[in-house]
Amino acid sequence: MIETNQSTQPKPSSLLGYSLADLETIYAEMGEKPYRVKQTMEWIYKQRISDIEEMSNLPANLRKHLSDTYYLNDLQHIETKGAADTTRKFLFRLHDGRYVETVFIPASVGLKGKQSTRKTICVSSQVGCAYGCKFCASGLAGFTRNLTAAEIIGQMLSVEKIAEQPINNIVFMGMGEPLANLTNLTKALEVITGHWGFNIGARSVTVSTSGLAPQIRKLAEFPAPIRLAISLHGATDEVRDLIMPINKKYPIKELFDALHYWRTHKKQKISLEYILIEGVNDDLDQAAILAKRAKGLNAKVNLIPYNTVEGLNWKRPSESHCIAFRDIVAAAGINTTLRLEKGGDINAACGQLRLKKETSEGIIKAPVKTTS
Ligand code: SAH
Ligand code: SF4
């Protein structure tokens, strides 16, 4: 049983869930001067204070009101996997006793041996996931709830604090389906890209989706040039239907219509993500069809050898097979990457740490072990 807040007081909300325009409205209703909004945002996103009381240039009565009504970041850091300077995975406890995972990937040697200055965070957008892709740990125990915009932003503030490094690249590739949480996602995107907020360039923000076609069209209206990644994982409906139930609702034709629509709104290339699972979607015929689809969309292709998930029997193909698959896609003139580093448990897709923790605490039942 999850404890709930039994108090009759209205539950305070987090200031992290507000954009500049939201806070301007709230302050105007309170009769506060507009410049107080800017001061407040500076304390949160420039000074990175952890307590509202630290906003020392705000009048005492405003500080008191804010402290009584709002809080900042309520994520509790529980566990870290991985050593400093490498990819690290963090487990955070939410106010209702649920858990989410966030991954931090610091600068590494990039293409052509150049040192990359990218510091990437991979954030979760939901607790669990309702889409139940057959290979994925996040969907294994079903869906619990959406994360609020404040909980998405909270992951970023917490990770920057723990890692003591500024983030300059963000991917929505953690637990959950971001496009099924569109309202909170777009609010978080406003804070992430706002000059008054995280101030991360929209081109360094990637939203990944399993293919919710109508929501792709809606997100295309977001004004800043954010990037889109599609978890394709099958080049034909036949293969995709086997592993991604969403494909029954939005088959490839419908998905690609939405992607063409996206392309009319944004200049950046779409990325097609394709995990390679032995004997499931790694037939070389799929590579040729994938290349054709990518070409039609002028998209990039990222091939990712499958990371083993506890309780699932899927396996990654041999390295030579992954290379053969890549070569077919690349030969068609597609910008193609293949991540050949050993997956290890840290790089594994999100959802596993949380699954273990919530199962051990009896919050969720041990997920059914199945591969079909
Ligand atoms: N729901 C969204 C956002 C999550 S992104 C989406 O599916 O796009 C998480 C990415 O990791 C997805 O591309 C997903 O397919 C991939 N993934 C899930 N399980 C994986 C595994 N075991 N090994 C490698 N990639 C995996
Ligand atoms: Fe959900 Fe994405 Fe995992 Fe599918 S791959 S279950 S949509 S998180």
pLDDT tens digits, 120-141: 999 999 999 999 999 998 878 8
The residue ranges of DSSP E strands in the chain, in sequence order, are 13-14, 70-71, 76-81, 88-93, 99-105, 120-122, 126-128, 143-146, 169-172, 205-209, 227-231, 271-276, 300-305, 336-338
R_g of the chain computed on alpha carbons = 21
Structure-block tokens of residue 323 = 């290379």
Residues belonging to the active site: 101, 350
pLDDT at 28 over 80: yes
DSSP 148-189: PHHHHHHHHHHHHHHHTS---EEEE-SSS-GGGGHHHHHHHH
At 367, the pLDDT band (50, 70, 90 cuts) reads: low
CATH number of 13-71: 1.10.150.530
- Among 354, 250, 254, 264, smallest CA distance to 310 is for 354
Q: Are 126 and 114 in contact (CB under 8 A)?
A: no
Distance 210 CA to ligand 2 centre (A): 6
| Confidence at 166, pLDDT banded by 50, 70, 90 | very high
Give percent above pLDDT 70 in the chain. 90
215 lines ligand 1 (CB under 6 A): no
Ligand nearest the Cα of residue 230 is 1
Residue 323 predicted with pLDDT over 80: yes
pLDDT at 189: 98
What is the position in ligand 2's atom list of the atom closest to the CA of 176?
A: 8
76-367: CATH topology is TIM Barrel (3.20.20)
Residue from 126, 135, 138, 355 whose mutation best tests the ligand 2 pocket (most atoms within 8 A of CB):
138
Q: Is 135 in the pocket of ligand 1 (CB under 6 A)?
A: yes
347, pLDDT greater than 90: no
CA-nearest of 332, 328, 232 to 276 is 232
* pLDDT average, residue stretch 181-203: 97
Residue 309 in this model has a pLDDT that exceeds 80? yes
Which of 156, 145, 141 shows the shortest CA–CA distance to 90? 156
pTM: 0.93
Mutate to test the pocket of ligand 2, among 122, 124, 216, 231 (most ligand atoms within 8 A of CB): 231
Q: Whose CA is nearest to atom 3 of ligand 1?
A: 173
Q: What is the pLDDT of residue 350?
A: 66
Q: Which residues does ligand 2 sit against, CB inside 6 Å?
A: 129, 131-133, 136, 138-139, 176-177, 210, 231
CA 221 / ligand 2 centre spacing (Å): 23
Cα 46 from Cα 27, distance rounded (Å): 20
Same fold, 13-71 and 76-367: no
Q: Which is more confident, 11 or 15?
A: 15
Q: Are 67 and 49 in contact (CB under 8 A)?
A: no
Nearest ligand to residue 367 Cα: 2
Cα of 101 to ligand 2 centre, how many Å? 14
Per-domain residue ranges of the chain: 13-71, 76-367
Q: Give yes or no for residue 173 CB within 6 A of ligand 1.
A: yes
Q: Give the 3-state secondary structure of residue 46.
A: helix
351 CA → ligand 2 middle, Å:
10
How many whole angstroms from 92 Cα to the centroid of ligand 1?
Answer: 20
Mean pLDDT of 12-30: 95
Confidence of residue 354 (pLDDT cuts 50, 70, 90): confident
CA distance 323 to 140: 30
| Those residues with Cβ within 8 angstroms of residue 257's Cβ, 6 or more apart along the chain or in another chain | 213
Least confident range of 3-17, 186-200, 309-323, 348-362: 3-17
Is the pLDDT confidence value at 318 over 60?
A: yes
Average pLDDT rounded to a whole number, residues 347-357: 67
User: Do 92 and 103 touch, CB atoms closer than 8 A?
Assistant: no
